[in-house]
């Protein structure tokens, strides 16, 4: 009789450990679906994600954006932001299948051939300002 309780306790412990990790992994996936963003009240300053349109760039980089007239001034911290830092012009709004996010294509002030994708949540206050800049 004692052997059955030890085996049952071991199985129950193994199942509970697997269930714990499955729930934790599911919660991480759920939380990562939401993009955090800060937007000023007037919508002219905000945080966003940018990815360069090149074969070597595949990651989204967190940046700070300031709308200054017809220009987007991009800044931030970190090594990867150095390649994106500076003045950019909003080229056009990119079509996206994702209803939760909006994407815009931006081009560098000095070299219009260098483009990047700017991604923000669709419900953000800055969407209206960026759409007005496009049109």
Give tens-digit pLDDT for 21-79. 999 999 888 877 776 788 889 989 999 999 887 655 668 888 999 998 889 999 988 88
The reported pLDDT for the residue numbered 18 is: 93
% of the chain with per-residue pLDDT over 90: 21
The reported pLDDT for the residue numbered 19 is: 93
Q: What is the band of 10 on the pLDDT scale with cuts at 50, 70, 90?
A: confident
Mean pLDDT confidence for 102-109: 89
Report the distance separating Cα 67 and Cα 79, nearest Å.
23
For residue 14, pLDDT beyond 70: yes
pTM of the model: 0.70
How far is CA 77 from its chain centroid? 15
For residue 4, pLDDT beyond 70: no
39 DSSP assignment: B
Mean pLDDT confidence for 83-91: 87
> CB neighbours of 109 closer than 8 A, spacing ≥ 6?
71, 86, 87, 88, 89
For residue 2, pLDDT beyond 60: no
């Amino acid at each position: 009789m004692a052997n059955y309780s030890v085996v049952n306790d071991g199985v129950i412990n193994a199942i509970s450990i697997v269930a714990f990790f499955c729930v934790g992994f599911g919660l991480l996936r759920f939380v990562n679906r939401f993009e955090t963003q800060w937007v000023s009240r007037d919508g002219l300053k905000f945080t966003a994600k940018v990815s360069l349109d090149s074969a070597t760039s595949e990651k989204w980089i967190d940046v700070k954006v300031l709308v200054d007239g017809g220009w987007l001034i991009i800044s931030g911290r970190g090594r990867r932001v150095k390649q994106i830092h500076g003045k950019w012009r909003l080229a056009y709004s990119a079509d996206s299948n994702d209803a939760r996010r909006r994407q815009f294509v931006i081009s560098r002030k000095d070299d219009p051939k260098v483009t990047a994708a700017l991604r923000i949540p669709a419900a953000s206050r800055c969407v209206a300002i960026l759409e007005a800049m496009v049109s």
